Amino acid sequence: MTTPEPAAPEALLPEDHERRLHPGSWLFVLLQNLRQFIVPLAVLVFAGGRRDDGYPWWLPMIGVGALVIVSVWQYLTFRYRIDDDRLVVRSGLLERSVRQIPYSRIHNVAIHQTLLHRLMGVAEVRLESAGGTKPEAQMRVLRMPEALALEQLIRDRGRSDAVTAAPDGTPVAEAAGTTLLALSTWEVVKLGLISNRGLIVVAGAVALSFQVMPERAMGRLLVEYGREAFGYASGFATTWMAKGLVLMGVVATALVLIRAFSVLLSLLRYHGFRLQRQGRRLTVERGLLGRSRSSVPRRRIQAWTQQEGVLHRLFARRTLEIDTASARGSDGQGNANAQRGLDALAPIAPPDTCDAIVRDIALLPAWPPVDWQPLHPRAWQRLVLGDLFMTVGLCAVLAWFFQWWGALGLLWLPWSVFVARRHAARAGYVVDDALVAVREGWWSRTWRFAELGKLQAVELRQSPLDRGFGMASVWFDTAGANAMTTPLRLRFLPLGDAARIHATLAQEIARRPLRW
């Protein structure tokens, strides 16, 4: 269910009037503090339960009471006021803070609701700026109508985000929100079948178990379960071939369960997904039990990524993601903050829909390009070198232990050569007056591109192997990229073409103003 837009933000948020948070705000602050201090509190509780020497059972309650006082204190000392061009936030009593946040500096408005938020009709609001390590303001919590009114007010007043100029120069209000993508439940189920979120969570749980439990205890547990499973399989089969089939069935069942878990995670996160363009801002709303609503100006989008794996092609779907110039730090909430951001414009959508979203938002009418330029003719040889060194080294290790049987690993080389040739044949790049784009991959395909006005730096790189092959690579920096993002780079280009692109774009970046 889509959250309705407030009709009149000024009626809910009058100017020059300081306002408090919701009266239940202290409860959510308390729950957040309890999550941070749950480990020491649990140690106090369990330590007291194991001792018989008159250990005061009420000692942990002192810690909880202190957190309650801190939470209520934060609620009582937090105020915010709506001014004409800024938001003023006051907090603290002994150490007072007055923070003035211009609307034009707010790049992302994130509204988040857990199940408890929804039951109480409130929401948490986070105001983020570009490049910050934490939100400019975090309001736990506001009534849902006030949260939506604040989002609309920032959208209306932030650097002319809601008005455009008519041909005669008269400001004209832009049209109401337009839905660019809405995912049905079946589409979200497809996303769960395609993604590996369930496998990632299971692998993380296993890794955490090895960290929490003693290694010997974890090893014994796995051995015992393995023996039990093998004995259970032996009861149904007597020959080794039958036992192998039973084992394969067990593995297949485990994979099906993991995939079902991925579907469940996708439903929890992306149910009711809706992408809307409201003036010059984009808004994404999603979630089954907890709902999140994130809004960001279109101009903050720095780079684009389209991904298409094997399962994507099976369902004729793609994923469209973006890099935005917004806060990426941590304030104690871990990766949950990153999940609230507007990262995936289209978690799953047909290729034509993804291309239409790019043309609409990035204003690139010629997307996708048709004149992709090929890589260096010997690019496939450069690609296969890594597999060659790794395969030969692995075979040498195997031969040390298994004699000539280790040489069977060399059978992997023909497949590596085939993949490298396919990758090099399909890869390409485009550099024109509007954008820089690169496509890579054969088995799993990726398109990565950015507008020229969003580029911050250009770098020419050439490794010793590249010099031997007479090729080079051109790397680009954009705001919003991080270590987990696929870099924007043109690899394995002829040296002359790479040098020409580097020189041309260096001049173009210096001439153009940075659009962010």
Q: Three-state SS across 213-258?
A: CCHHHHHHHHHHHHHHHHHHHHCCCCCHHHHHHHHHHHHHHHHHHH
Which pLDDT tens digits describe the chain residue by residue (516 residues)?
456 555 566 667 777 678 889 999 999 988 888 887 766 666 666 655 555 555 566 666 777 788 888 888 888 889 999 888 889 999 887 778 888 888 888 878 889 999 999 999 999 999 887 655 677 888 888 999 999 888 888 877 765 444 444 444 444 444 457 899 999 999 999 999 998 777 777 666 666 565 555 555 555 666 566 666 666 655 555 666 766 777 777 778 888 888 888 999 999 999 999 999 887 788 999 999 989 988 888 888 889 999 999 999 999 999 999 988 754 444 444 333 343 456 789 999 999 999 999 999 988 888 999 899 999 999 999 988 877 888 888 788 877 777 777 777 777 888 889 999 999 999 999 999 889 999 999 889 999 999 988 898 999 999 998 999 999 999 999 876 666 677 899 999 999 999 999 999 999 888 876 665
Q: Two tokens at 246? A: 């039973």
Beta strands 108-113 and 178-182 are unpaired
CA distances from 452 to 263, 347, 435, 446, 472 (A): 38, 25, 5, 19, 21
**Bond from prior residue into 368 cis (ω within 30 degrees of 0):** yes
Q: At 50, phi and psi to the nearest 5?
A: -95, -10
Angle at the Cα of 300 from the Cα atoms of 297 and 303, rounded to 5 degrees: 130
Strand partners, 370: none
CA distance 266 to 198: 9
Q: Two tokens at 146? A: 């006030």
CA distances from 460 to 172, 378, 396 (A): 45, 19, 36
